[in-house]
Amino acid sequence: MSLINIRKKTVSVEHAPIEIVERKGRGHPDTLCDGAAEELSVALSRYYLAHFGAILHHNTDKALLVGGRAHAAFGSGEVIAPMYLLLSGRATVTADEQLIPVGAIALKQVTAWMGRTLPHLRLPGDLIVDYRINPSSPDLHALFSTTHVPRANDSSFAVATAPLSELERLVKSVEEDLNGAAMKRRYPQIGEDIKVMGLRTEEQIQLTISVAFIAAETPNLATYLAVKEAIAGEVHALAATITRRQVTVMVNTGDRIETGNVYLTVTGTSAEQGDDGEVGRGNRVNGLITPMRPMTLEATAGKNPVAHVGKLYQVYAQQIVNHIVTDISEVDAATCTLLAQIGAPITEPQAIAIDVESPLSEEQLTAPITRIVNNVLNNWEAIRDGFLHRRWPLF
């Protein structure tokens, strides 16, 4: 087992003078790419498991969503040029002398998922899903066929922190609330491409929210403005349950009312009109972009859940800090950093560093933290299987 470095340190950003937090909602082009890549990995994993008794090698962690062209007007609109989603990566295409329908799985699962994620997307018509997936190299297959602990396939780095700061909770809640079923029922004008940028300067919070409106549900400017105001009201109400700080809410600040230039979409995503997306350019594992915190550039979506430490270690690190702040009552905050070494068993990171904010001494912390770390690492099989049920938030 790797050595665990535990040290006491200020972890929370609650008292930093400036804090910046962003969340890209589920219809944002980057988030759509994350989702598509992960759906493909889940579908392949399930197919491999059902047909061959094991999750075979694949990595579908790159994708490009090329934005289309659309014409949106109050009360109506249509996609002019469809969006184009190119899935890429590698996958096992034959096993036991059987061909594996990687391409058909990719098209079917990802198209269906896109349709569910963007209810106003017209299929077929508004989106082309294409793929360029090459066969995995045979030596990678071997890595997977073992009954031993899989070996890390890359040198990569993971980091996680708990608990979320107040601003982080706020930003995350706002997007989830606006993209929630209840809100959509009340305001069918709200599309899925929602971006929340939170800035806290000392005790003042400013939320800049970008919300794609659904043109067909927004008959006129008056409705648009009324719903914009209603959104601001909803966000204020939500904020009051989370923070006592003063909160300013700005919705769709790019609008130019005088020229009629407002944020209308046909499908609910800005990708319909030229905004492109890529995997791994959006939220981290905690659902946020937190530039003031230690942060990895690794994308989790689409990586195989067996040996790709760029995916696994993000989830391990998050589970470790979650347990530390939950299970050890005297810990106020914790950060976990994991560094993988290519070729080593995934249960043996090259470095495990834990920063904790706690009145306890390092000596007192060592035993319970070590136990938590070991529990998470020893739980690798259950964590792996959890990916197949989308149990772990990834973006």
Q: Which of residues 143-202 bind its own copies (CB under 8 A)?
A: 155, 157, 159, 195, 197, 199, 201
Query: Least CB distance from residue 179 to its own copies, whole Å?
Result: 19
Work out whether 208 is an interface residue with its own copies (CB under 8 A).
yes
Q: Which of 95, 242, 292, 360 binds its own copies (CB under 8 A)?
A: 292
Q: Residue 16: what residue type?
A: A
Burial of residue 13, with CB atoms counted within 10 A of its CB: 0-12 exposed, 13-18 middle, 19 or more buried = buried
Q: Which is nearer to its own copies, 122 or 169 (CB)?
A: 122
Select the residue interacting with its own copies from 25, 35, 68, 305 (CB under 8 A): 68
Contacts (CB under 8 A) with its own copies, residues 8-67: 17-18, 20, 22, 61-64, 66-67
Written as six digits, the tokens of 258 are 């005088």
Binding residue for its own copies (CB under 8 A) from 50, 99, 182, 382?
A: 99
| Number of helical H runs and strand E runs in the chain | 9, 17
Q: How far is CA 160 from CA 242, 264, 289, 318, 324, in A?
A: 22, 36, 12, 5, 12
Contact status, residue 77 vs residue 215, Cβ threshold 8 Å: yes
* Sequence-distant (≥ 6) Cβ neighbours of residue 190 within 8 angstroms: 178, 179, 183, 184, 211, 213, 214, 227, 231
- CB-neighbour burial class of residue 96 (10 A; exposed 0-12, middle 13-18, buried 19+): exposed
Is the separation of the CB atoms in 310 and 303 below 8 Å? Answer: yes
Shortest CB 160 distance to its own copies, Å: 11
Query: Rounded to the nearest whole angstrom, what is the least distance from the CB of residue 23 to its own copies in the complex?
Result: 12
Q: Mark the segment that binds its own copies (CB under 8 A) among 178-186, 286-294, 356-364, 378-386.
A: 286-294
Residue 306 to residue 297: CA distance in whole angstroms: 20
Size of interface with its own copies, in residues (CB under 8 A): 89
The C-alpha atoms of residue 50 and residue 283 are separated, in whole angstroms, by: 31
Cβ-contact 133, 104 below 8 angstroms: no
Classify 149 as helix, strand or coil.
Answer: coil
Q: Is the dihedral of CA 168, 174, 175, 177 positive or negative?
A: positive
CB of 388 to its own copies, least distance (A): 20
Nearer to its own copies, 108 or 391 (CB): 108
The answer to whether 210 contacts its own copies (rule: CB under 8 A) is yes
Q: Does 80 bind its own copies (CB under 8 A)?
A: yes
Shortest distance, position 99 Cβ to its own copies, whole Å: 5
Query: By CB neighbour count within 10 A (0-12 exposed, 13-18 middle, 19+ buried), where does 218 fall?
Result: buried
Q: How far is CA 71 from CA 26, 30, 81, in A?
A: 22, 22, 10
Q: Is residue 111 a contact point for its own copies (CB under 8 A)?
A: yes
Which CB sits closer to its own copies, 115 or 386? Answer: 115
CB 266 within 8 A of CB 78: yes
User: Could you say which DSSP state residue 350 is in?
Assistant: S
Compute the least distance from the CB of residue 170 to its own copies, in Å.
16
CB 18 within 8 A of CB 270: no
Tell me whether residue 211 or residue 289 sits nearer to its own copies (CB atom). 289
Q: Which is nearer to its own copies, 341 or 366 (CB)?
A: 341
Contacting its own copies (CB under 8 A), which of 35, 150, 163, 280? 280
Of 14, 46, 78, 169, the one binding its own copies (CB under 8 A) is 78
Choose one: 99-107, 164-172, 321-329, 378-386; the region binding its own copies (CB under 8 A): 99-107
Q: Which of residues 335-374 bind its own copies (CB under 8 A)?
A: 337, 339, 341-343, 350-351, 353
- Nearest CB to its own copies, comparing residues 125 and 393: 125
Asked if 95 touches its own copies (CB under 8 A), the answer is no
Q: How far is the CB of 207 from its own copies (least distance, A)?
A: 11
Find the binder of its own copies among 137, 145, 248, 326 (CB under 8 A): 137
Write out the binding residues for its own copies, residues 255-274 only, by CB under 8 A. 259, 261, 273-274
| DSSP H helices in the chain | 29-52, 102-117, 138-145, 166-178, 181-186, 221-242, 309-327, 362-378, 380-388
